[in-house]
Amino acid sequence: MMTDILLCPAAPVDIPAILELNRLAFGGNAEAELVEALLADPAAAPLVNLVLFQGDVLRGHVLLSRGWLDGVADGPALSWLAPLAVHPERQGRGLGQALTHAASAMAAEMDQSLIFLMGHPGFYPKCGYVPAAPHGFTTPHPLPIEAQPAWMVRELQKGALSHWSGRVRAAAALEWPELWGG
């Protein structure tokens, strides 16, 4: 049950707990390093850095950073969602959906048109995401056919999905070849 929940922008003092939460949720250091790299990169311009507390304990975190369409001047305002983490002992209780919806609402308030991500095809459709490839959007690096369902988008401004298409780019840390099996 979702009791005693607080969703708010992360404060600098939350950073160590955010990194530890990402290590726990993903079982490794890669996503914590990704968070550190994105927060340190002015080009990533993190738009949403949101934490979820239960009581005074950090249980969830999500980051949205800046994306763009390759070679498109005056393109739409794009966000890239990564990473999203919920504490392993609190998963499956709606916290991930609460964070994802709150991040979308904040991005919409910031006049973002589209949010892209690579993620679990069983989870994100619950939060309004649809496969991105059928709408003509491709990833920064080529994606094997079996990974295509993980490439998803959410439309925030009506018409943006049908109006735009192309190769989506992201901050350097999200384009590291290691993340893409390079």
Ligand X SMILES: CC(C)(COP(=O)(O)OP(=O)(O)OC[C@H]1O[C@@H](n2cnc3c(N)ncnc32)[C@H](O)[C@@H]1OP(=O)(O)O)[C@@H](O)C(=O)NCCC(=O)NCCS
92 lines the binding site for ligand X (CB under 6 A): yes
Binding segment (CB under 6 A) for ligand X, from list 50-58, 70-78, 92-100, 155-163: 92-100
Among 10, 19, 86, 114, binds ligand X (CB under 6 A): 86
85 lines the binding site for ligand X (CB under 6 A): yes
Residues 58-77 contacting ligand X, CB under 6 A? none
Query: Closest distance between ligand X and the C-beta of residue 83, in Å?
Result: 6
The contact pattern for ligand X, residues 99-138, with x = CB under 6 A and - = no contact, is: --------------------xx-xx--x------------
Q: Which is nearer to ligand X, 21 or 164 (by Cβ)?
A: 21
Distance CA 2, CA 94 (A): 7
Among 54, 91, 138, 165, binds ligand X (CB under 6 A): 91
Q: Which residues contact 59 (CB under 8 A, 6 or more apart)?
A: 21, 52, 53, 86, 87, 90, 95
Contact 60, 90 (CB under 8 A): yes
96 lines the binding site for ligand X (CB under 6 A): yes
Query: Closest distance between ligand X and the C-beta of residue 125, in Å?
Result: 9
Among 94, 131, 149, 166, binds ligand X (CB under 6 A): 94
Give start and end residues of each alpha helix (H) in the chain. Answer: 15-26, 30-40, 95-109, 160-163
Q: Which is nearer to ligand X, 3 or 158 (by Cβ)?
A: 3
Q: Could you count the other beta carbons within 10 Å of the beta carbon of residue 137?
A: 21
The contact pattern for ligand X, residues 16-35, with x = CB under 6 A and - = no contact, is: ---------xx---------
Contact 117, 149 (CB under 8 A): no
Distance CA 153, CA 165 (A): 11
3-state class of 7 per DSSP? Answer: strand
3-state class of 34 per DSSP? Answer: helix
Question: Among 173, 177, 180, 182, which residue's Cα sits nearest to residue 67?
Answer: 173
Task: Please report, as ranges, the residues that interact with ligand X according to CB under 6 A.
Answer: 25-26, 83-86, 91-97, 119-120, 122-123, 126
